[in-house]
């Protein structure tokens, strides 16, 4: 059933064409590629409901494209809910997936028509009962986060042993216990993380059956990885997507058995759908050779964009770089850095993290930053140090890459 490949994706024909045509810096998103990614996900997980995690790429064009293809939205607050509705997502395909929410935000979401809320504490359940009476709720079960670049293991979720009690309280307060959810961490690189999460969810489902509570869905969360990143040392990350999808399919069957009846499933992909279908057209500010505190000479490649205007995740990974004006020739190892007066605006300085770049680079030369479709738009500052956010452009049409 697998449709994945083991090779890191290139920019694709649509992205490459748009990047080559650009004469100024920008973020380019391939809407057709994103839509094809959604179709591939549905082939891997037939019948699963897709709720796009808006935080990964809050561009109206992306949300509208996915809404037209039948996807819903995982929203973290009223502003994202309003965006989803504006872009054509029906309210019944929007859930409030953030377990951290104020009374005011709960009430606002309820007024906007949202009727499905995540929770992970008794206090939040009480607030939902007061400000979203009669709503459906799903309890987020905590995971360890091992194997992910970002574990998400502390701020969200309750221990599996407490989840049944949280949903029992929801029922007692007039809410509808509707589901369970997990999130195994962002850019999860192991299939075992989902296997462990499924085992925990099965135990909770069995505990709920003993309490007379029947749910209607399980939300398997986000965490599906993109394929185009490098790690901090420049080695290609190689997520085992075939194994991950196989574990998820097997896990869904196991959870249906534990539940003892019909059970629907939801996933919340973010970077999986958008990362490899977006790229930044940037340019070289300067390639300079400098002596460090230890007296060692080292090349530094300063780009026109960095951590604060598009590449926020550069402290945990490396984006692949393409230098279209220099297809061959001599290269040198360099630290890649952004343009701001902030020392964190750079890749790791360790010798093993240096990037081979053309020695002939000159100020103004174009640079393509690949697999930048996730979080480049949402994490960017309004203009730290006077460097503005990247304008966002989209491309569509053409044949499959």
Question: If you write DSSP's letter for every residue of 127-181 in order, what string do you get?
Answer: HHHHHSTT-EEEEEBP---TTEEE---SSS-B-HHHHHHHHHHHHHTT-EEEEEE
Q: What is the CA radius of gyration of the chain?
A: 22
Find where tokens 């997980």 sit: 45
Decide if 267 is inside a domain: yes
Q: What is the dihedral of CA 285, 288, 292, 295, to 10 degrees?
A: 180
d(CA 185, CA 300): 32
In this structure, are 239 and 323 located in the same domain?
Answer: no
d(CA 371, CA 225): 12
d(CA 8, CA 176): 44
Backbone phi, then psi, for 385, in 5-degree steps?
Answer: 65, 15
d(CA 120, CA 50): 22
User: Nearest Cα to 149, choosing from 353, 348, 342, 313?
Assistant: 313
d(CA 68, CA 244): 27
Point out the domain boundary residue: 275, 304, 327.
275
Query: What is the predicted pLDDT for the residue at 3?
Result: 37
Query: What is the predicted pLDDT for the residue at 243?
Result: 98
d(CA 175, CA 137): 7
In this structure, are 288 and 270 located in the same domain?
Answer: no
- Find residue 282's DSSP bridge partners: 367
Query: What is the predicted pLDDT for the residue at 399?
Result: 63
Joined together, the tokens standing for residue 308 give: 């604060």
In this structure, are 296 and 309 located in the same domain?
Answer: yes
Domain hosting 355: range is 277-395
In this structure, are 335 and 345 located in the same domain?
Answer: yes
3-state secondary structure of 52: strand
Decide if 19 is inside a domain: no
Strand bridging mode 321-322 / 366-369: antiparallel
Query: What is the predicted pLDDT for the residue at 293?
Result: 78
Residue 102: CB atoms within 10 Å: 11
In this structure, are 216 and 331 located in the same domain?
Answer: no
Decide if 4 is inside a domain: no
Point out the domain boundary residue: 250, 275, 300.
275
Decide if 255 is inside a domain: yes
Query: How many domains is the chain built from?
Result: 2
Query: What is the predicted pLDDT for the residue at 76?
Result: 97
Decide if 79 is inside a domain: yes
d(CA 142, CA 7): 32
Q: Which residues contact 261 (CB under 8 A, 6 or more apart)?
A: 214
CB of 13 within 8 A of CB of 41? no
In this structure, are 67 and 91 located in the same domain?
Answer: yes
In this structure, are 208 and 309 located in the same domain?
Answer: no
In this structure, are 204 and 83 located in the same domain?
Answer: yes
Decide if 136 is inside a domain: yes
CATH number at residue 106: 3.20.20.10
d(CA 383, CA 196): 42
In this structure, are 51 and 191 located in the same domain?
Answer: yes
CATH number at residue 292: 2.40.37.10
Summarised one tens digit per residue, pLDDT across range 106-154 is 999 999 999 999 999 999 999 999 999 999 999 999 999 899 998 888 8
d(CA 396, CA 189): 30
Cα-Cα-Cα-Cα dihedral sign, residues 392, 398, 400, 401? negative
Backbone phi, then psi, for 53, in 5-degree steps?
Answer: -75, 100
Range 249-273 burial, b when 16+ CB lie within 10 A, else e? bebbebbbebbeeebebbbbbbbbb
Decide if 242 is inside a domain: yes
Q: Give pLDDT < 50 ranges for the chain.
A: 1-6
d(CA 369, CA 285): 14
Largest CA distance in the chain: 70
- Whole-prediction pTM value? 0.94
User: Nearest Cα to 301, choosing from 339, 248, 353, 328?
Assistant: 339
In this structure, are 283 and 271 located in the same domain?
Answer: no
Decide if 300 is inside a domain: yes
């Amino acid at each position: 059933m697998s449709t994945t490949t083991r090779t890191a994706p290139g920019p694709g024909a649509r992205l490459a064409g748009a990047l080559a045509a650009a004469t100024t810096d920008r973020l380019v998103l391939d809407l057709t590629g994103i839509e094809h990614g959604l179709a591939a996900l549905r082939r891997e997980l037939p019948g699963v409901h897709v709720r796009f995690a808006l935080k990964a790429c809050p561009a109206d064009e992306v949300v509208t494209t996915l809404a037209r293809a039948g996807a819903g939205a995982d929203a973290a607050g009223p502003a994202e809910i309003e965006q989803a509705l504006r872009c054509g997502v029906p309210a019944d395909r929007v859930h409030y997936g953030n377990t951290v929410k104020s009374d005011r935000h709960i009430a606002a979401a309820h007024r906007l028509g949202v009727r499905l809320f995540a929770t992970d504490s008794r206090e939040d359940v009480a607030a939902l009962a007061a400000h979203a009476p009669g709503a459906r709720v799903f309890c987020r079960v905590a995971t360890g986060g091992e194997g992910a670049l970002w574990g998400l293991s502390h701020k969200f979720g309750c221990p599996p042993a407490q989840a049944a009690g949280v949903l029992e309280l929801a029922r007692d307060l007039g809410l509808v216990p509707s589901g369970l959810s997990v999130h195994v961490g962002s850019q999860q690189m192991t299939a075992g993380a989902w296997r462990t999460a499924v085992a925990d969810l099965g135990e909770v489902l069995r505990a709920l059956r003993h309490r007379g509570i029947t749910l209607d869905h399980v939300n398997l969360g986000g965490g599906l990885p993109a394929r185009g990143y490098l790690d901090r040392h420049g080695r290609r990350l190689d997520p085992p997507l075939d194994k991950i999808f196989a574990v998820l399919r097997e896990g869904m069957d196991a959870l249906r058995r534990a539940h003892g009846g019909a059970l629907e499933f939801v996933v919340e992909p973010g970077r999986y759908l958008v990362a490899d279908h977006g790229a930044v057209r940037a340019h070289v500010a300067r390639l300079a050779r400098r002596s460090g505190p230890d007296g060692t000479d080292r090349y530094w490649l300063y780009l026109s964009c960095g951590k604060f205007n598009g590449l926020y995740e550069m402290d945990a990974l490396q984006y692949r770089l393409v230098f279209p004006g220099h297809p061959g020739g001599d290269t040198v190892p360099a630290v890649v850095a952004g343009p701001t007066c902030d020392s964190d605006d750079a890749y790791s300085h360790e010798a093993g993290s240096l990037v081979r770049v053309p020695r002939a680079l000159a100020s103004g030369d174009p640079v393509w930053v690949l697999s930048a479709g996730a979080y480049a738009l949402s994490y960017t500052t309004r203009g730290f140090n006077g460097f503005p956010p990247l304008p966002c452009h989209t491309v569509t049409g053409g044949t499959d890459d």
